[in-house]
A = this chain, B = another copy of it.
């Protein structure tokens, strides 16, 4: 049931609900081509409704749900069923995004459900302390976007990113740390990987770029270059 475990350095494209239909599929197809060509792990999220369609056309992407509920098959209505996600070929799920905050008890149960059905988990945290607390629950990936960062200068940012990663790995060395705040160019991608991030993820850096596909390609190339160099 398990897919290949996601490996660093990975790249996450998260169109949220900005794209749907053909514009979503168009971006996904291009990402799929990049994943095939550059052989890096690319996670691609899509609205729940369109996950099955994107899976079918994009076998080289790690298709990722934007939310999931801790329900079991049975008497629930409109909740996102883990088994159904897995059934259509989804491989990972984002949890605890600020649009779907979960109590720690529910988060723990949802991570367990994900493991049961073979979904990898990307769990959001908005502070170092929250990240450490979540690291104890053993998600596969921890997305650290400290609101504390906002407004900081670039230099303190660097210190901050480095120490965030260190503090989280201190609690759980196996968890992969994704960084996502404010990535605008391939230089930001390089820098974050250089500072120790296991992966990078972004929405507006691609969706709102002048040329989304070109920007996506440059960023993927930066990840691939980092990967080659590390070997």
Chain A residues near B (Cβ < 8 Å): 14, 16-21, 47-53, 65-67, 71, 73-81, 83-85, 87-88, 90, 94, 96-108, 125-127, 129-130, 132-134, 136-137, 171, 203
A78-B106 in contact (CB<8A)? no
Report the separation of the CA atoms of residues A198 and B227 in the bound assembly, to the nearest whole angstrom. Answer: 50
B87-A49 in contact (CB<8A)? yes
B99-A77 in contact (CB<8A)? yes
Report the separation of the CA atoms of residues A97 and B21 in the bound assembly, to the nearest whole angstrom. Answer: 27
* A132 touches which of B81, B90, B136 (Cβ 8 Å): B136
Chain B residues, Cβ within 8 Å of A108: 127, 129-130
Chain B residues, Cβ within 8 Å of A203: 75
A76-B104 in contact (CB<8A)? no
Chain B residues, Cβ within 8 Å of A136: 129, 132-133, 136, 171
A–B Cβ pairs within 8 angstroms, 21 of them: A17-B71, A17-B74, A18-B75, A20-B81, A20-B84, A21-B83, A48-B48, A48-B78, A48-B80, A49-B49, A49-B81, A49-B85, A49-B90, A50-B87, A67-B78, A67-B79, A76-B99, A77-B98, A101-B105, A103-B103, A104-B133
Q: In angstroms, how far is the closest chain B Cβ from the Cβ of A181?
A: 15
Q: In angstroms, how far is the closest chain B Cβ from the Cβ of A178?
A: 15
Report the separation of the CA atoms of residues A18 and B76 in the bound assembly, to the nearest whole angstrom. Answer: 8
Chain B residues, Cβ within 8 Å of A103: 96, 101-104
Report the separation of the CA atoms of residues A94 and B77 in the bound assembly, to the nearest whole angstrom. Answer: 9
Closest 4 CB pairs between A and B?
A: A67-B78, A101-B103, A133-B133, A66-B78
Chain B residues, Cβ within 8 Å of A98: 77, 105
B78-A99 in contact (CB<8A)? yes
Given A52-B49, A85-B49, A133-B133, A67:B77 Cβ within 8 A: yes
B94-A101 in contact (CB<8A)? no
A105-B127 in contact (CB<8A)? yes
